[in-house]
Structure formats: structure tokens, C-alpha cells
Amino acid sequence: MHPVAEGSERAGVAPPDETARREAHDVLPGGSFGRLEEVAAWLAACQGRAPARAPRRVRAVLFAADHAIAEAGVSAHEPAETAARVAAVRDGRAAVCRFAEAAGAGLRVVDVGLAAPLPGEARDDRAVVRTAGRLDVADVLTADQAAAALRAGREVADEEVDEGADLLVVGEVGVGVSTPAAVLAAAMTGREPVAVVGRGSGIDDRRWMVKAAAVRDALWRTRSAGRDPQALLRIAGGADLAALTGFLARAARRRTPVVLDGAATAVAALLADTDAPGARAWWVAGTRCTEPSQALALDVLGLEPLLDLQMRAGQGTGALAAVGLLRAATAVTG
């Protein structure tokens, strides 16, 4: 794909090739295959050729971070579960590893904010913070940490594209991540906390109320940030959400299509498209999850999930489940 000049992150993103999209439509069956034809034309536009070819190198990247708000009891899982999940991915034991195998995708998990480092490749330790703030009472990151997390996401995207990835899948690993995702969705869309707080990992009513209160307090703290992506990520986001934002914006600048996963990636996409206008044209939503923050973000972005599986597992599993549909779409024209 194409290189991108540093210092241009606020500029608009060049769109996919509309000539290739039109040429793809000219050879499609005219509606017989429904949305698969839309996907085929989108891939053709992203690839700059018609008809589109099946992706040759699919890469899934997960960004991992601990969230201090998890200590407040906003999740059905204990905070230590984040590290256990990262270890399971790196050892090949996690369910997402099977999803990646089924999708024919390489899989990588990058530490951008775990409380303690775990064994793994040196290039996948990009931690910018080890002890983050609790979003309802303090800023999650410093300005330098937020900038570093955004930069880490951009660097990882560059690495994957430079190594030949022609389709990227993104996800996150982090207990409690749906809480900051809800705060950011509310801040970006002007919604009240009750409209963005979901059940996340499957929490009961008591935990839901704790989560709703945390979102309310964090949203109040973001009032001075407006819709500034970096400020919002600093105040109430997290290293994983910031890295996702940087990754998505850079992938679009590198003209590489991305399949979004659940709420965290959708909200990060909303921030990335604000920071890099037009980036949304390079993304497709994999599957609908159970979080209202995802629905709000995708509605603003104008993205309709390819699948409606009501998944809440995260870790890129929903997006990986949709990769087969993208491959199938390329068969529509031949």
C-alpha cells in the first residue's frame, strides 16, 4: 500500500477508487447476491481494481490494556482476567485463535497498557502506561501517554501494511473496556449515560448501576474536551482505545481496508474519523454486538454490520467471523 507523510494526521483521508467501484458494479449480477455485491464493490474500490480479488494476507491485531475502572466492579470479570486473556492469545489457547485460523488470518496481540508486562515478542510490548487513572475520578492518561498510545497504534498499522497485509481486523483485550467506550460514545454523540450503558460482559442490575454512575461521572469530566479525540482519550479513554484510534486512522491513510469488531473498535473508529475525516470509507463493520455504544457509533459512521450475531466476546472474534463473507463476496463476479 502507500506510505503516509508524518505530521498529516489531521488532514482528510483520500477515498477508495470510485472508478474501480463503478467497474465492479458493471460486472456484478445486479442484486442477486444482496449485500455481498456491495462488499465486492467496496473491496474493489479499496484495492483499486475490478473485480476485487480475495484478500491474500489477513492480519488481526488486538490491543491490550488494563482499565482502573474495572476495580470498581463494572464487569462480570475480575481485572486480572485481562492478563490471563493476553497470555491465552499468545499461547494459542484463546477462542480468538480458532477464529483467526478459520478466517485464515495471522493474529497479534499488542500490550499498550497492561499493569505488568507479559512474555511475548519485544515489538508487541508498546506499553505507554502501567498504572492508568480511574476515569470517574481522574484522567486516565497524561497528554504524553495519550499521544504515545496513538503513535503506537499508527506504528503497528505501518508494520502490518509494510509486511503485506491487504485486509486488517482489529479488536481489544481489556476487562471493563465497554465503560470508557460508553463514555466516549456519549461525549461524541451528545447522548445521556443511560442511552450508552450496556450489559458489557453480562453484568447484573447492581453492576449496571455502578457502571452507569461511572459513565455519568466520567462524562461530566469530559465536558471541557468537546469532541477532541485526543483530549477525550486522555480524560476518559485508555491506552487500548487510543492505540485503536491511531491504528484505524493510519490504516485508512495507507489505503488498507479494515474490519471493525465490537463497541470499542466502533467508538475508536468514530474518534479516528473525526481526527482523519473520510477514514470511514476504508472500514466495514463485522458484526453487531450487544453494546448500545457500538450502535450509536456505527450509526454516525453510516456503517451497517455484515452480521447480527449479538456477540459480546470482543477480542476481534466478531470481525474475524465476517472475514469469510468478504472472501465469498469476491466470488460473486467470478
- 227 φ, ψ to 5°? -115, 30
**Per-residue confidence at 10, pLDDT binned at 50, 70, 90?**
low
Q: What is the mean pLDDT of the chain?
A: 94
Instruction: Tell me: pLDDT of 226 over 60.
Output: yes
Instruction: Tell me: pLDDT of 184 over 70.
Output: yes
Partners of 58 in the beta sheet? Answer: 105, 167
| Mean pLDDT, residues 52-78 taken together | 96
pLDDT at res. 330: 93
pLDDT at res. 65: 98
Residues making up the chain, counted from first to last: 334
Comparing 125-129, 214-218, 311-315, the range with the smallest average pLDDT is 311-315
Q: How far is CA 248 from CA 100, 261, 295, in A?
A: 19, 12, 18
**Per-residue confidence at 106, pLDDT binned at 50, 70, 90?**
very high
Strands 105-113 and 58-65: parallel
Instruction: Tell me: pLDDT of 112 over 80.
Output: yes
Comparing 24-33, 112-121, 219-228, 242-251, the range with the smallest average pLDDT is 24-33
The pTM of this model reads 0.95
Comparing 29-43, 45-59, 139-153, 253-267, the range with the smallest average pLDDT is 29-43
**Per-residue confidence at 50, pLDDT binned at 50, 70, 90?**
very high
Instruction: Tell me: pLDDT of 78 over 60.
Output: yes
| Mean pLDDT, residues 232-247 taken together | 98
> CA angle, corner 90, sides to 66 and 265, nearest 5?
50
As a whole number of Å, the end-to-end CA separation of the chain is: 24
pLDDT at res. 312: 82
Considering the chain, tell me which residue range(s) the CATH 3.40.50.10210 domain(s) occupy: 55-324
Q: Are 218 and 182 in contact (CB under 8 A)?
A: no
Q: Which CATH class is domain 55-324?
A: alpha beta
pLDDT at res. 4: 46
Instruction: Tell me: pLDDT of 6 over 90.
Output: no
Work out the number of other CB atoms within 10 angstroms of the CB of residue 29: 10
